[in-house]
Amino acid sequence: QVDRYLYHMRLSDDVLLDVMARFQAEMVKGLGRDTNPTATVKMLPSFVRSLPDGSETGEFLAVDLGGSLLRAHQVVFDDGKGDRQLETKCYPTPKEFIQGNGAELFDYVADCMLDFMETRNLKNKKLPLGFTFSFPCKQTKLEEGVLLDWTKHFKVRGVQDTNVVSCLRRALQKHKANVDVLALVNDTVGTMMTCGYDDQRCEVGVIIGNGTNACYMEEMRHIDLVEGDEGRMCINTEWGAFGDDGALDDLRTEFDRELDLGSLNPGKQLFEKMISSLYLGELVRLILLKMTKEGLLFNGKVSTALLTKGKIEMKHVSAMEKYKEGLSNTKEILTELNLFPSEEDCIAVQHVCTIVSFRSTNLCAAALAAILTRLRENKKLLRMRTTVGIDGGVYKTHPQYAKRLHKVVRRLVPTCDVRFLLSLSGSGKGAAVVTAVAYRLAAQRKQIDAALAPFLLSLETLREVKNKMRTELEYGLRRETQASATVKMLPTYVCGTPDGTEKGKFLALDLGGTNFRVLLVKIRSGRRRSVRMYNKIFAIPLEIMQGTGEELFDHIVQCIADFLEYMGIKGARLPLGFTFSFPCKQASID
């Protein structure tokens, strides 16, 4: 009965493959300079260009803002010997700050960092800080990002369209905190970098928690929004907005639409609203409410609690889906909601939870499979081995979610051998890793610059070279100094350039490399002016290349004879030009 009622939430593999294809098309749209403005999946460049290699060293701070808690971290990297995460401290994110004004929010973040530094006796140290900020930002460099939109349960005034790093720096300076904000990192990027420190195959980061998002390492040649085409850069997909243009309307149910209308951001983050913990509990409540009103559950008796938004949370959904105690948990939770369920009610409610969370898993798997397919195609591999770094409350605490996700991803992309690596220290440490990698690359760059310094020529040196060359050119042109000149300035006896009236058939020889080329060139003049060339390449064996002159020219003549026979013009008498790529002192053009 529940299966029939929620038929549209049960997605077949064919539907998931179709979602994959739609998401791949949106990724391409987001990466294009001309198509990005209308793309829902924004594919934001993170300016993280390198994964950790284990040689990072130094002491770093990190702050992580974006979930139900604010986290402060202190991390020490020890040059290949791993890291010591000395301490992480969690702070609440009160509603008055996350739905208030920007100045108050960043003052609160600075207060928390100052408290953390005092706790760790770090007030007198000047340390670099990485800032994990779990909201879509348009970055123009690693330490700068303009907020595009608040998501999840955040709605802070006066921050949208401003540089969030500047906001944090101002607040830290106001509180006299002795830190230097060097990197702005999305939480997915932080997750990928944290896991990348332990597994260098990690090139994808996924969050499935209060919100959902993913990042991956994209080839620079495909990123129109950033100059350059060498190497790779991490792209923050912002996949939570997938479908905001109506691309997923055929998959959204009446319950998804009702939930969206009652949210803080109607019409936005529609993919996220079908996947993340902030919304799954509410989806279950809306389904149970309608089923009860239709007399399918609880003898049609609706309680005040069931009518109240937010009364069923993700923690309840997870508890109801537990393998052994799921049914008893379901009865207990429903009783607390004053619903007095029968055993059949409990089984039905448990099944509703399974369908809602399984749909979340399936949609997440389809989008992740699209990213993995793109990675494999970028590398031009038939089969790829890679690691996905993953974090978030849904993935970590739901009893079935991780297992289901792994199974569906592997079914959708059988050509990818995927390892899923749980981020044990969260995305905050990832900001410290990004900062440490930036430090390492800067140090390497300094060494390279020092090694290459002798090759860096000043304008004054180039002028000097120009003057010396001018002098040598003049020496080579003068009869009395030509013999001692290094630049020989040899006359070619070519006294004119083509004017378009040339016509006829000509043979041409080209000798200078490891091969020898014979060409037949047909030139037409007048209104139908054209040049047509036919050629054949002949190898020059090493013994001839380093033998006698007679052997070389005998070989050349044999090649010419072969070519004339090949072209069907054996015995023809044609003028011939000879390209000879070695210095010759000419007395005339021939």
pLDDT (tens digit, 9 = 90+) per residue, 445-464? 889 989 999 999 999 999 99
For residue 206, the domain's CATH number is 3.30.420.40
pLDDT band at 149 (very low <50, low <70, confident <90, very high): confident
Mean pLDDT for the chain overall: 90
Residue 342 has a pLDDT of 94
Give catalytic residues, as residue numbers: 152, 187
Quick one: pLDDT at residue 65? 86
pLDDT digits (tens, 9 = 90+) for 246-295: 999 999 999 999 999 999 899 999 999 999 999 999 999 999 999 999 99
Residues 310-361 have pLDDT tens digits of 999 999 999 999 988 999 999 999 999 999 899 999 999 999 999 999 999 9
Q: What angle do CA 106, 111, 117 make, to 5 degrees?
A: 125
Q: Is residue 128 part of a domain?
A: yes
- Confidence band for 202, pLDDT divided at 50, 70 and 90: very high
Residues 48 and 171 occupy one common structural domain: yes
**Is 186 in the same domain as 101?**
yes
Q: What is the pLDDT of residue 431?
A: 79
Of the candidates 420, 445, 470, which is a domain's last residue? 445
Say yes or no: 432 and 556 in one domain. Answer: no
Instruction: Indicate if the pLDDT at residue 426 is higher than 70.
Output: no
Between 404 and 185, the more confident residue is: 404
Which one of 404, 429, 445 terminates a domain? 445
Q: Which residues contact 324 (CB under 8 A, 6 or more apart)?
A: none
pLDDT of the residue at 458: 93
Q: Are residues 179 and 67 in the same domain?
A: yes
Are the C-beta atoms of residues 408 and 402 closer than 8 Å to each other? Answer: no
Nearest by Cα to 433 from 274, 198, 120: 198
Q: What element of type H or E holds 468? A: helix 459-477
Assess whether 244 and 374 both reside in one domain.
yes
- CA dihedral angle for residue 242, residue 245, residue 247, residue 249, rounded to 10 degrees: 100
* Residue whose C-alpha is closest to residue 412's, from 116, 15, 4: 15
Amino acid, single-letter form, for residue 535: N
Task: Indicate whether 242 belongs to any domain.
Answer: yes
431 and 545 together in one domain: no
Whether 438 and 509 share a structural domain: no
Q: Point out which residues pair with 76 in neighbouring strands.
A: 59, 84
Q: Does residue 80 carry a pLDDT above 60? A: no
- Residue 203 inside a domain? The answer is yes
Q: Is the pLDDT of residue 442 over 90?
A: no
Domain count across the chain: 2
Q: Determine, yes or no, domain membership for 214.
A: yes
SS3 category, 81? coil
Closest CA to 581 of 520, 497, 509, 491: 509
| The predicted structure's pLDDT at residue 571 | 83
Phi, psi of 235 (to 5 degrees): -110, 125
The domain of 510 spans 504-580
- 424 and 524, same domain (yes or no): no
Q: Which residue, of 445, 462, 481, is where some domain finishes?
A: 445
Task: Specify whether 435 is located in the same domain as 546.
Answer: no
Give residue-wise pLDDT tens across range 24-51. 999 999 999 999 999 999 999 998 888 8
Query: Is residue 90 situated within a structural domain?
Result: yes
**Does 99 map to a domain?**
yes
Cβ atoms of 131 and 61 within 8 Å: the answer is no
Structure confidence by residue, pLDDT tens digits, 519-547: 999 999 888 889 999 999 998 888 988 99
pTM score of the predicted model = 0.74
